[in-house]
Amino acid sequence: MKLNFKDMPVVYLHPGEVFFSKKSYVVSTVLGSCLAITMFCGRTKYGGISHCQLPSCKEASANCDDCSEPYKYVDCTITKMLQKFEQQNIQSGEIEVKIFGGADVLVNSNCSSKKSIGRQNIISAEKMIHKYNLKIVTSDVGGRQGRKIFFVSNKGEVFLRRMKNNEKG
């Protein structure tokens, strides 16, 4: 895949990070069992993307205000992202949600794919998305291959490339 994002600043998103903007940025990240969640509002051109590592935070209260690393966890990430959109006067019904990743790249014979971190991340995201009555417009989750994604912040577009098993990004 050869993408040309001429004249657009590129940001690399590390695990546990999030990025929000109304301006035109390309945000790239590489996913294995981690999950990327994008949210976008077409009316305001406000977009956000996160790179979550684990399904749920054990230290946070129900609203994730007590979480010391909210963007590390799928449950707190979705809550915090929605709060950022609300601060922009964006209603939940205006938000397009896309999720990517959650691959079983580390599954071995001792670990069932039903209990893998990737699968748990997907389940956590689906649970939180249902809790907040959001709709997933696109998803590419699960499987055994990692993914590299590119998110265009002011358009909500996501470009995806599946990784080969030995590829590092």
- What is the rounded distance in angstroms from the CA atom of residue 41 to the CA atom of residue 96? 6
Q: Which residue range is the domain that position 152 belongs to?
A: 10-162
If you ran DSSP here, which 8-state letter would residue 22 be given? S
Q: Model confidence over 83-111: pLDDT tens digits?
A: 999 999 999 999 999 999 999 976 564 55
Q: Is residue 31 part of a domain?
A: yes
pLDDT of 21 reads 97
Q: Model confidence over 146-156: pLDDT tens digits?
A: 999 999 999 99
Q: Is residue 169 part of a domain?
A: no
- The domain that contains 106 carries what CATH number? 3.30.1330.200
Other C-beta atoms lying within 10 Å of the C-beta of residue 67: 20
Q: Model confidence over 45-71: pLDDT tens digits?
A: 999 999 999 998 876 566 677 778 889
Q: Is residue 1 part of a domain?
A: no
Q: What is the pTM of this model?
A: 0.89
- Indicate the residue type of 124: S
Q: What are 76's strand-pairing partners?
A: none
- What is the rounded distance in angstroms from the CA atom of residue 165 to the CA atom of residue 114? 20
Domain count along the chain:
1
